[in-house]
Amino acid sequence: MKKTYLGIILASTLVFANSCTDLDEKVYSEVLAKDYKPTEKDIPSLIGPVYTVMRPMMMGWQGYFDVQEESADAIVTPARPNGWNDGGTYQRMHRHEWTSEQWQPWNLWLNCYTGITNANRVISQIESGKIEVTKGKEELLAELRTVRAFYYYLLCDNHGNVPIVTDYNDVNLPQQKTQLEVYNFVVSELKACIPLLNTEVSTATYGRFTKWAAQTLLARVYLNAITYTGTGKWDECEAYCDSVILGGKYLIEPNYKASFVTNNETSREIIFAVPYDETKGTGFSNHMKTLDPLMRKVFKMEAQPWGGSCAVPQFINTYDPEDSRLTDTWIMGDQINPDNGVVEITYTNTCKSIYGTARNEGYRIGKYEIKQGAKGSLSVDFPIFRYSEVKMMKAECLLRNGHADEAATIVTEIRGRAFKSNPAKATVTGA
């Protein structure tokens, strides 16, 4: 018999006490949609599966971070004495020679379509009346469509031409769309949903798409429109950046690290983030992939790291020595055991070859705080959108539209916190 289930996790707790003898309660192994009448308190549980797929996708094993960084300028994962050849997957990403069977883009594809399917399911349940929402229905549907548009943005940006599926009940094989069609779909969905979205910035909306997060997403889509469409959308991007800026909800944190520390949900710079917790919301395993196994002693970790990944030396050489982001982002030099003062490993700014290098070569990623006693997952939320990005997008639009001096003012503002020891170095000019 075919059954329709809600995407709800039911947790039961057994409490044993001498005084507890009345155990007459009905225990359910499943809850059918027809038997479930949700209330407003159940909304987070209903939409949860639409968001939670972001945890393994963003900072999990061979997810979005790897797709973006292994193929770019800053990160490399060379073969080490403890492994990391992995069939040449990282070398192919570094050389831009990946195939359709490459794990990282494939994992991103699967995670995006899992999120899209979950969104389509909940939208279908609400629109059909299987889930009755009596208050805030339009806002909730707009939020679900916005999350779905976010997944399609990732697919548009990373894969290009993909199928667009919006009907959960359609069993036909979907047709592939061009990158331009996917771009147009994302823009259309976001423009339709933004006026309906929540404007509140609080713990209740943290980790969810608000009007400000959706505007930032649309600004980012417009920023790269020249790649997707062949035509720049600088005015449109700047307009949505201005909407976020004029909203007055966010600020540039005086301390760069404030957006990347444990329990960073208090950062006023974060517009949208994926929440992680070392025990209740796991998946942030980037530190395991970058730290050498010896770092377990340095951080007194409860888990044994297995890394590998490091900075490309030429990228490190682009930093000004007085730029505080260098030490805020990278773990370098002697790494000391806090119990006995022994140097466990010394990281050097070298990397002989992606095909084989020493275990201590290459600075390691320390941008996201690794606390003493760290587990296999961190409690550092991953910021997808930050206010500083909004300001920098506006600066790029100004520059491309011929307003270089105005752009330079914004860039100087952002650089200011990275050059507190020498403020003059933060200043850039239109030239």
Q: What is the pLDDT of residues 339-374, one digit of tens each?
A: 999 999 999 999 999 999 999 999 999 999 999 999
238-280 pLDDT, tens digit each: 999 999 999 999 999 999 999 999 999 999 999 999 999 999 9
| Whole-number average pLDDT of the chain | 92
The pLDDT, as a whole number, for residue 14 is 32
The pLDDT, as a whole number, for residue 33 is 65
Give the confidence band of 227 by pLDDT, cuts at 50, 70, 90: very high
Give the confidence band of 40 by pLDDT, cuts at 50, 70, 90: low
The pLDDT, as a whole number, for residue 100 is 81
Residue 13 predicted with pLDDT over 60: no
The pLDDT, as a whole number, for residue 135 is 86
Give the confidence band of 294 by pLDDT, cuts at 50, 70, 90: very high
Query: Higher confidence at residue 196 or residue 12?
Result: 196
* pLDDT-above-70 percentage for the chain: 93
Say which range, 12-26, 99-113, 300-314, 343-357, has the weakest mean pLDDT: 12-26
137-178 pLDDT, tens digit each: 999 999 999 999 999 999 999 999 999 999 999 999 999 999
Give the confidence band of 180 by pLDDT, cuts at 50, 70, 90: very high
Residue 15 predicted with pLDDT over 50: no
Average pLDDT over residues 123-130: 91
The pLDDT, as a whole number, for residue 10 is 33
51-90 pLDDT, tens digit each: 999 999 999 888 899 999 999 999 999 999 999 999 999 9
Give the confidence band of 21 by pLDDT, cuts at 50, 70, 90: low
Average pLDDT over residues 322-344: 98
Q: Is the Cβ–Cβ distance between 280 and 381 less than 8 Å?
A: no
379-425 pLDDT, tens digit each: 999 999 999 999 999 999 999 999 999 999 999 999 999 999 999 99
Residue 1 predicted with pLDDT over 50: no
Give the confidence band of 212 by pLDDT, cuts at 50, 70, 90: very high
